[in-house]
Amino acid sequence: MATDTGEWSIQDLAKAAGTTSRTLRHYGQLGLLPPSRVGANGYRYYDQGSLVRLQRILLLRELGLGLPVIAEVLAGEQDTAAALRTHLELLRQEQDRIRRRIESVHITLQKTERGEQLMAAEVFDGFDHTEYKDEVIERWGKEAYESGDRWWRSISDTDKKAFQQAHLDIAADYGRAHAAGLAPDSDEVQAIAQRHHDWIGIGWQGRPVVKEAFVGLGEMYVADPRFAANYDVHGAGTTEFVRDAMKVYAERQL
């Protein structure tokens, strides 16, 4: 709740934003969200400008940007209204992409139930290979992203669909193995992890998928709900199962 002076305590701001005081303090330490003032008692207070800035941070996070990238975006913005208009357009684009995904899944469901032939263009409409651009750059560098991006743009639509389908098959096989109660270190699951490793290697275009990178990807799947959605659609806990299988494979083979 705001005070009569239009200020919020860190607890009230965190509650209103659906986050935690710890997160807001972390944003403050990174220079993303400094308090508008600090009281004599050491308490942090935030004004209306802080609310707008926090809204921008949370919206950019929802779009998948990492905190270092968000810091750069906010540092380059002087006109708040212009920034909000830009972000509104980004949200509209994301809304359109989500709408297309919903339609794609709806069509796939209908045709599957009716036993009709699926069209690749319908199944994959609305999916964007650049969705994880910032995570790739933050973890492995700009060259790693640009190399993969060049490869992706150079292959045919048929090869793109085949590459995407290969991952869908891997995710589905992980899900079936998890549902069947197989252990992450079982031969069957490790064979899936081998396919997973090889699939990643194709996308990385010659860059070796070393032990640390493969384990790190597994951890990122669990930490980021956008990644987890690719696996937990096959059953709750599948993402953690995938992470564990990847870790076992990395320990044994890499």
Is 88 within a domain? yes
Q: Based on the fold, state whether residues 213 and 198 are members of the same structural domain.
A: yes
pLDDT at position 116 over 70: no
Is 1 within a domain? no
Is 176 within a domain? yes
What's the pLDDT score for residue 121? 45
Neighbours of 231 (CB within 10 A): 23
**Domain extent for 203:** 129-253
Q: Based on the fold, state whether residues 159 and 174 are members of the same structural domain.
A: yes
Is 193 within a domain? yes
How many folded domains does the chain comprise? Answer: 3
What's the pLDDT score for residue 228? 72
> pLDDT tens digit string along 61-100?
876 677 887 887 777 765 667 767 776 777 777 677 677 6
Q: Based on the fold, state whether residues 160 and 239 are members of the same structural domain.
A: yes
Nearest to 237 by CA among 221, 253, 213, 216: 221
Is 2 within a domain? no
pLDDT at position 142 over 60: yes
Q: Based on the fold, state whether residues 160 and 227 are members of the same structural domain.
A: yes
Instruction: Choose the final residue of a domain: 103, 127, 151.
Output: 127
Q: Based on the fold, state whether residues 201 and 248 are members of the same structural domain.
A: yes
**Mean pLDDT, range 7-22, rounded to an integer:** 88
Q: Based on the fold, state whether residues 82 and 21 are members of the same structural domain.
A: no
Kindly report the pTM of this predicted structure.
0.48
Q: Choose between 190 and 231: higher pLDDT.
A: 190
> pLDDT tens digit string along 196-207?
999 888 877 767
CATH of the domain at 221: 1.10.490.50
CATH of the domain at 32: 1.10.1660.10
For residue 37, give the DSSP letter: E
Q: Based on the fold, state whether residues 161 and 173 are members of the same structural domain.
A: yes
Q: Based on the fold, state whether residues 246 and 156 are members of the same structural domain.
A: yes
Is 3 within a domain? no
Angle between helices 80-114 and 48-62 (to 10 degrees): 30
What's the pLDDT score for residue 117? 57
Per DSSP, the residues of 137-204 read: HHHH-HHHHHHHHHHHHHS-HHHHHHHHHHHHHHHHHHHHHHHTT--TTSHHHHHHHHHHHHHHHHHH
Q: Based on the fold, state whether residues 23 and 93 are members of the same structural domain.
A: no
Q: Based on the fold, state whether residues 149 and 235 are members of the same structural domain.
A: yes
**Mean pLDDT, range 33-48, rounded to an integer:** 89
Q: Based on the fold, state whether residues 134 and 246 are members of the same structural domain.
A: yes
Is 37 within a domain? yes
Q: Based on the fold, state whether residues 82 and 122 are members of the same structural domain.
A: yes
